[in-house]
A and B are shown apart, each in its own frame.
Chain A
Amino acid sequence: MAATFKALGGNDTTTTRTLLHEAIPLTGTIVSGTYFLESSDTQTNIKRYGHGMWESVYDYPYLSSSANHIFDLTIGYSAQSNLSGAANMQNAKKINIYNQMAQVLVGFDENGLVRRFDQDGDHSGGNKINEAFFINYARLLTKDEIKKGSYNITFYTAGTKQVPTTPVTFADHGAATTYKTNSPAGDYSILYTSSATPRADGTSGKGLLYYQAGVAVLTSSIFLNNPFGPDNQYDKQFSSVRACMTGSLITSSCEALRNLWRDNNFSNTTELNSTVYFCRANHNEFNYSSNPTYLSSSKLVVKNVSDDAPVSYVTTIGLYADDNELVAVAKVSEPLKKDPTNELTLRVRLDY
């Protein structure tokens, strides 16, 4: 152990930030079909609640301790939507869900009223997303935020229940460099069906993706001209997204959406903050050791001839607080030889 301390100067310390990502694939086999229990006609990885306002999707039957919650799924529409009607099933709940999501993700206007989801995100008018599916991803998957420009989700939009066809992919094209910042919930961008330049009138958006909140908002109009319904209604003539959102339970619409889910991929981001300490041993420093094994019979064991230069082996760096309390220890993988002919700069990184 060194008997002396060396103070770290302003040029010896710096902070860095590293972004760690994880690629998350969520295929249709996870969200529907795989864990179907025929005897009770239920999906064992889908948790439903007595209030019926949303359902939770797990990656494995949720009664297993191994299961991970991956997202919550729900629908809602604005009170100003054409779908809103007192005769609808769970009408108030669908409006409340829309308002709840909107006030958190879009915020309030200057009159204290909840803003609606805006198709182009500028809040200045234009088209609103009045009827929407909400996918609230678990923090386990999104970590600090969804990586901008990495999100895509694909739904089947035609065909039958047995043979769905016409997959359409929605993605946050261009969001790595261009995204919106006018949400109280953080950054978001618009989901498009292709990477082509969005239409100038702002009507090509199909949904919104909130990166830090981990929420995807998809307009229901993406299924406007296609069969849409839960298992027991899918192929029937009246099964449309409009009929399903008004005449069925929220969970029925969620089930219908899951049945059309083909694929979903995104990456998450975790910020790793580090402090880097550059510990410098100059040529005339740290060439001796107070280690008990450094001396034998009052002679340096690493020297053979008395006028040889002193030499030591650096194995450990201790970081001390102002009051000389040892607060951290860094070890090198193998001892480094230090003598007056060389200088060492050891880079100690502390992650937190």
Chain B
Amino acid sequence: MPLYRFKSNDVFYNRVKVNPKQSFLVYSGSTVLNNFANESGSHTSYIQNVSGSGHVSLYELNIDRSSDQLIYPFVYKDSNRIGFKTVGTGSFNSDFQFGDIISSSYPLSASISKLLYPPNHSSGRITALKNTLNFYTNLSPAYQFDSSLGNKATQKLGLLSIPSILYGSSVKKGTVDMKFYISGTLVGQLQDERQNGELIQVGPSGSSGTGSIAGVVLYNEGFLVLTGSWDLTAAGTRFAPSHSETYSTGSESPQWLYFAQSISGTITAPSSSFELSYEGTDYVQTLTMLAHAAKGELNHSNNPTYVKHDANRVYYTTGTYGYGEPRSTDIKNTVSSSFSGHTASFAKVTYISEVGIYDENRNLIGLAKLAKPVKKTQERDYTFKLKLDI
């Protein structure tokens, strides 16, 4: 088996940019991700063993397993001092001896979450976003943490958080779409149509607040900061008379900062439902290698079946002073004749079934297999394109 060195034009890197779309439907404590139904199993009420169908399950291993039969990860505490994030530093140091098993649990799940901050909240979580929000002020003044448009440290606002597993590197600009329904009727729709992070009410026509900015999107961080506090069913608009139900503490009118307020189920808001969709952005690095099988090369095989079978064949001889193999062995002619009873002229034919990738020390580090072996004759040349996602 000969080895060939890749030339400079035989190896190149690509980056594939993908934009997977995600959609959430929130209604009265239930969340549905990508219209995936809440499938009940034989051993669990929900086969993915997560809180509900709005969650994505990492690895998706524990399908329809009872709670005492779950797959779980564990490590032994050793000098690498690696544990699980669920085990704090103090517990790691004091609760486990070296050699002890530190275990965690599957499934690990994630979903969107919503928090509502009352006026004068002074929340540390919102303050932590101050620098980030101000950083994007060049995109839109609506990002400004404290301006004539409002002070986010003290104004009433809603914060919708999206875990990065659900968007990748960033949320794609111009793809955020939020819909607010009352009793199944669309009363408000937000989109970042200017692609500058502003969530602008774009419809439906005749609705209250059309054209107004109801919040901003932090594309790279996965947050939607909602500040729109106008009544989407205000008197004099298409969806009047004004609707009211409990979104936080009392009877309130539907407002954008109450979007997805019923996600936890603590607030039911039975007349309200919410829809959020967006596209994430992810990058897949790809290594492409071109392996050439030139004419007149790779026409011999060391496979034992490459030589003609002979029951009396002596493969080797050994003795006190030496080791020997036969000087010549007939190669099996696999060329088929067009005529019955005749043997075709001999030609060297091999079948390429796999391509091995070696490092500079000739260690085999990768193997590419063909779906079907390809016939290689002296006259044929091939180029095999090997792709590796990295």
- A14-38 CB mask vs B (1 if < 8 Å, else 0) is 0011111111110101100011000
Report A-chain residues with C-beta under 8 Å of the C-beta of B82: 18, 272
Report A-chain residues with C-beta under 8 Å of the C-beta of B63: 59-60, 66-68
Are A24 and B75 touching (Cβ within 8 A)?
no
Are A25 and B47 touching (Cβ within 8 A)?
no
Report A-chain residues with C-beta under 8 Å of the C-beta of B60: 66, 68
Q: Nearest-CB distance from A230 to chain B (Å)?
A: 22
Q: Does B275 contact A (CB under 8 A)?
A: no
Are A110 and B73 touching (Cβ within 8 A)?
no
Q: Does B76 contact A (CB under 8 A)?
A: yes
Among B39, B74, B315, the residue within 8 A (CB) of A22 is B74
State the CA gap A67–B48 with chains docked (Å). 10
- A53-87 CB mask vs B (1 if < 8 Å, else 0) is 00000011000101110000000000000000000
Report B-chain residues with C-beta under 8 Å of the C-beta of A125: none
Report A-chain residues with C-beta under 8 Å of the C-beta of B315: 110-112
Q: Nearest-CB distance from B71 to chain A (Å)?
A: 6
Are A35 and B42 touching (Cβ within 8 A)?
yes
Tally of A-B residue pairs with Cβ under 8 A? Answer: 62
Report B-chain residues with C-beta under 8 Å of the C-beta of A60: 41, 47, 63-64
State the CA gap A30–B48 with chains docked (Å). 15
Are A27 and B69 touching (Cβ within 8 A)?
yes
Are A23 and B74 touching (Cβ within 8 A)?
yes
Q: Does A108 contact B (CB under 8 A)?
A: yes
Are B47 and A66 touching (Cβ within 8 A)?
yes
Q: What number of B residues sit within 8 Å (CB to CB) of A?
A: 27
Report A-chain residues with C-beta under 8 Å of the C-beta of B64: 34, 59-60
Q: Which residue of A lies closest to B62 (CB)?
A: A59
Known contacts A66-B47, A66-B60, A67-B63, A21 near B74 by CB under 8 Å: yes
Among B43, B76, B316, the residue within 8 A (CB) of A19 is B76
Among B47, B61, B80, B304, the residue within 8 A (CB) of A16 is B80
Report A-chain residues with C-beta under 8 Å of the C-beta of B70: 25
Report B-chain residues with C-beta under 8 Å of the C-beta of A24: 71
Q: Nearest-CB distance from B48 to chain A (Å)?
A: 6
- B4-46 CB mask vs A (1 if < 8 Å, else 0) is 0000000000000000000000000000000000010111000
Further 6 A-B residue pairs, CB within 8 A, beyond A17-B80, A22-B72: A16-B80, A18-B82, A22-B106, A25-B70, A27-B69, A60-B41
The 3 A-B pairs of least Cβ separation, nearest first, read A112-B304, A60-B63, A18-B82
Q: What are 16 pairs between A and B in contact, CB < 8 Å? A: A16-B80, A21-B73, A21-B75, A22-B71, A22-B74, A22-B106, A23-B71, A23-B72, A24-B71, A35-B42, A60-B47, A108-B304, A110-B315, A112-B304, A140-B61, A267-B74
